[in-house]
Amino acid sequence: MAVLPVYNTLVVPEGNTFIQTDYYKKTTGRNPVPDERIILLVLKENIHRDKWTPESFYPIGLVGQISEIHEEGYLLVHGNYRANIEEVTIYPGGQLDVSISHRPDTDERDSEDEARRLKEIKRAVVKFSEGFQWGQAIRGLVARWSSISEAAAALSPWMMNTNEERYAVLAEDSVLRRDTVMEQMIYENLEMSRIKGEAQSAQEEDHQKIYRETAIKKQIEYLQQELDDMHPENVSDVRRFEVKIQESGMNETARKEADKVLNRLKQEGKNSAEYGMLYDYLDFLTTLSWKKEEASYIDLGQAEKVLDEDHFGLGKVKDRIIQQIAVMNLKHQQSGSILCFVGAPGTGKTSIGQSIARALRREYVRVSLGGVRDEADIRGHRRTYIGAMPGRLMDGIHKSGVSNPVVVLDEVDKLSQSYNGDPASALLEVLDPEQNHTFTDHYMNVPYDLSGVLFICTANTLDTIPEPLLNRMEVIRFQGYTPREKYEIAMRHLLPKAREAVGLQEGSLEISEEALKTVISDYTRESGVRGLKKRMDTLCRKAAVEIVKAQAAGEEAPVVHVEKDNIRDYLEDHPIRHGRVKDTARPGVVTGLAWTSVGGEILYIETLLTEGKGNVTVTGQLGDVMKESAQLAVSLVKSLFPKEAAQLKDHDLHIHVPDGSTPKDGPSAGITLTTALSSLLTGVPVTPRVAMTGEISLQGTVEPIGGLPEKLMAAERAGVEKVFIPADNEDDLRDVPAEVKDRLTICPVHRAEEVLQALNILSEA
């Protein structure tokens, strides 16, 4: 026996149930056979086959028989008797098997009464159908009804009763009561249809128009699809965008805007300038990723491994990054605090951003902000401009193809302001988690959610980063590398990469340790390794030329050896004359330490007395800042050495601070100036192997300075042996590489007198 589930259909003994032939085939897995017996199971709710359980069916069903099979695609099942459903078995694919038992009716009908009621029903239905187009056919059908069940089942498809109400009829044991309920159902439905009909006629005209319009549209769509299928190469732009807008998953606002632009595109000729602009816009919007990515769990060990693979050293930085990843894991977030990497060029700030992306298995985008003056560079141009473009940020995200890339905002310190708005304020919005889920690029003109983006900023200095922007970020310093670290970086990373870039075999170029150290010390002057990378590239290119020449001459490929003695054959640059400290000491000249954009540097503060009338001249780079610092030092020295200072009255004092590479922190030469002046006035020379750094106050206290690690590294490199530093900077010594600390005698001081006494300029009181 075939078992069929039915839903929202009235199934009763004596009634005829319509079943779609397709449905029958799908559910039973076979073709209908005339007179075949069928069990109809009533579904409690209309759910898909995959979800059926035995509880999905009501406990009473109907056993019937296929009475007619129509070619139009349906069959009639005549209901025989009701059955208790004892057990339902559901096979994969939705095939059903049930065991049933006959459920008897109780019958107290009076046949005469029954006939009269049926007649009434027939009359009512015929009357109702009078104005109908199908009235005639309905009357033919009605004439064949021989019971109330038959009438109700035939009308069932039009009846507005719920599934429960229909089932309640089947579940009724008394035939008399069943008939009464069905009779009531028929009359109610006739009445409802009548009311609905009246209400409808008023709206009919409107509806008719809508139906017609929809029908025409469907027709067009269908024809267009046929055309597209015939000529896929010609699928019109409009149609393609229609599909792409559908599939892009963009938000409501974006969708509206896209639809609006698409409508304009439809009206434009293909060759107009406007068309191109609209096309570009839609192309941008539909190829942007609108999909929200899930935050995935990142294995910390794995992430650490990736970071170590790409970069040597940078332990503190890597630690901080791992912390960030751990927090992101815990909070199931795609982003966290905004890190700002600060340090000299070539210290690996940008490239570690790339490693972070790799560690997180996310896309990487670099947005260069250097020289950005226009707000539009960040936020895009409004589309009213010819040649309008999205801003750099959205452009980068677009290219990444995802909504959650790691974005490195390079050189935030090089943002500048102009009459065209303030790019920093646009950036503020980008970085503010409160606002950035609805960032609106002017070109896009619709909000885009940036909350899944992990932002990392890089900068050479914090001085020029606008305060509000800086407040949003967590600063991580990149100290610069010691020669030892540079050596390791060159051996492990730079050289292999350079070799690979020019296609050199591993054994074909050999650089001795001594040679590489010379390259580091004499051919580069930097905190980072950018220059060193260039030198490695040059070496490899030169070696490549040598090898290719040998091959061309038919010789065996040589192994190129670079030694300390022959470096100059390979590197065109002149070796840098490093600020090695001088050997001779002269009164009035003292070694200072400067912090420049390429790291630390030593410099000499020179002072000289000439015949004159007590004028003070300051020359050199630092201008006003230095002048103030010089005046302060002069006053302090006068108070410390009242007797010697008398000569200042009939002499001119000249102070010179050489330019070197542009030092950034003038005032920190205060203690050096004081010492140089004291040495000049007392005639006590100070050995150049002693250097110092520190600001000074009028009371003679030595105040803290910045860039201590870089300064000490420069001092060590230049051959300085002893350095005075402000006592308040002692904490910074933690960041100074051990090898540097080992080779320097570092003396923290509180007051200028301590320095002067240590140098025997001032006698101990």
Token pair, residue 41, equals 């199971």
- Distance of closest approach, residue 533 Cβ to ligand ADP, in angstroms: 5
Applying CB under 6 A, the span of 312-320, 443-451, 535-543, 748-756 interacting with ligand ADP comes to 312-320
Q: For ligand ADP, which is the closer residue by CB, 254 or 359?
A: 359
Contacts with ligand ADP in 586-625 (CB under 6 A)?
A: none
Pairing of strands 690-692, 589-596: parallel
Q: For ligand ADP, which is the closer residue by CB, 263 or 464?
A: 464
- Binder among 15, 336, 348, 688 for ligand ADP (CB under 6 A): 348
Phi, psi of 621 (to 5 degrees): -80, -30
Q: What angle do CA 732, 738, 742 make, to 5 degrees?
A: 105
CA neighbours within 13 Å on the CB side: how many for 625?
12
Please identify which of the residues 149, 289, 668, 679 carries the catalytic annotation.
668
- CA 408 remoteness from chain centre: 10
C-alpha span between 335 and 403 (Å, rounded): 12
Q: Identify whether the C-beta of residue 476 lies closer than 8 Å to the C-beta of residue 342.
A: yes
Q: What are the C-alpha distances in Å from 131 to residues 128, 154, 583?
A: 8, 20, 121
Applying CB under 6 A, the span of 502-510, 523-531, 572-580, 679-687 interacting with ligand ADP comes to 523-531
Q: For ligand ADP, which is the closer residue by CB, 379 or 493?
A: 493
SS3 string, 575-640, reads CCCCCCCCCCCCCCEEEEEEEECCEEEEEEEEEEEEECCCCEEEEECCHHHHHHHHHHHHHHHHHH
355 binds ligand ADP (CB under 6 A): no
Q: Identify whether the C-beta of residue 88 lies closer than 8 Å to the C-beta of residue 41.
A: yes
Contacts with ligand ADP in 433-462 (CB under 6 A)?
A: 458
3 state DSSP class of 68? strand
312 binds ligand ADP (CB under 6 A): yes
Please identify which of the residues 486, 533, 542, 711 carries the catalytic annotation.
711
C-alpha span between 711 and 714 (Å, rounded): 5
528 binds ligand ADP (CB under 6 A): yes
Q: For ligand ADP, which is the closer residue by CB, 345 or 579?
A: 345
- Distance of closest approach, residue 466 Cβ to ligand ADP, in angstroms: 21
- Binder among 345, 380, 480, 588 for ligand ADP (CB under 6 A): 345
- Binder among 10, 155, 314, 708 for ligand ADP (CB under 6 A): 314
Applying CB under 6 A, the span of 3-11, 162-170, 526-534, 596-604 interacting with ligand ADP comes to 526-534
**Which distant-in-sequence residues (6+ apart) come within 8 Å of 697 by Cβ?**
632, 703
Applying CB under 6 A, the span of 213-221, 308-316, 373-381, 732-740 interacting with ligand ADP comes to 308-316
Q: For ligand ADP, which is the closer residue by CB, 251 or 521?
A: 521
DSSP tag of 162: -
- Distance of closest approach, residue 357 Cβ to ligand ADP, in angstroms: 13
Q: For ligand ADP, which is the closer residue by CB, 479 or 674?
A: 479
Rg of the chain taking only CA atoms, in angstroms: 45
C-alpha span between 633 and 700 (Å, rounded): 9
Site string for ligand ADP, 58-87 (x = CB under 6 A): ------------------------------
Q: For ligand ADP, which is the closer residue by CB, 153 or 314?
A: 314
- Distance of closest approach, residue 365 Cβ to ligand ADP, in angstroms: 15
Applying CB under 6 A, the span of 14-22, 307-315, 383-391, 712-720 interacting with ligand ADP comes to 307-315
166 binds ligand ADP (CB under 6 A): no
- Binder among 489, 504, 539, 547 for ligand ADP (CB under 6 A): 489
Applying CB under 6 A, the span of 116-124, 167-175, 341-349, 395-403 interacting with ligand ADP comes to 341-349
366 binds ligand ADP (CB under 6 A): no
Token pair, residue 474, equals 């967590």
C-alpha span between 271 and 721 (Å, rounded): 75
- Distance of closest approach, residue 465 Cβ to ligand ADP, in angstroms: 16
- Binder among 493, 525, 542, 717 for ligand ADP (CB under 6 A): 493
Q: What angle do CA 563, 568, 572 make, to 5 degrees?
A: 140
- Distance of closest approach, residue 493 Cβ to ligand ADP, in angstroms: 4
Q: For ligand ADP, which is the closer residue by CB, 313 or 592?
A: 313
- Distance of closest approach, residue 346 Cβ to ligand ADP, in angstroms: 5
Terminal C-alpha separation, the chain: 119
349 binds ligand ADP (CB under 6 A): yes
Q: How many CB atoms lie within 10 A of CB 73?
A: 10
- Binder among 16, 189, 347, 693 for ligand ADP (CB under 6 A): 347
- Binder among 103, 178, 311, 525 for ligand ADP (CB under 6 A): 311
DSSP 454-519: EEEEEES-STTS-HHHHHTEEEEEE----HHHHHHHIIIIIHHHHHHHHT--GGGEEE-HHHHHHH
- Distance of closest approach, residue 529 Cβ to ligand ADP, in angstroms: 5
Phi, psi of 80 (to 5 degrees): -105, -65
Q: Is 668 among the catalytic positions?
A: yes
529 binds ligand ADP (CB under 6 A): yes
Q: For ligand ADP, which is the closer residue by CB, 351 or 512?
A: 351
3 state DSSP class of 275? helix
Q: Is 451 among the catalytic positions?
A: no
DSSP 21-34: HHHHHHHHSS---T
3 state DSSP class of 10? coil
711 binds ligand ADP (CB under 6 A): no
C-alpha span between 42 and 295 (Å, rounded): 45
Q: Which residues form the interface with ligand ADP (CB under 6 A)?
A: 311-314, 345-351, 458, 489, 493, 528-530, 533
Catalytically active residues are 668, 711
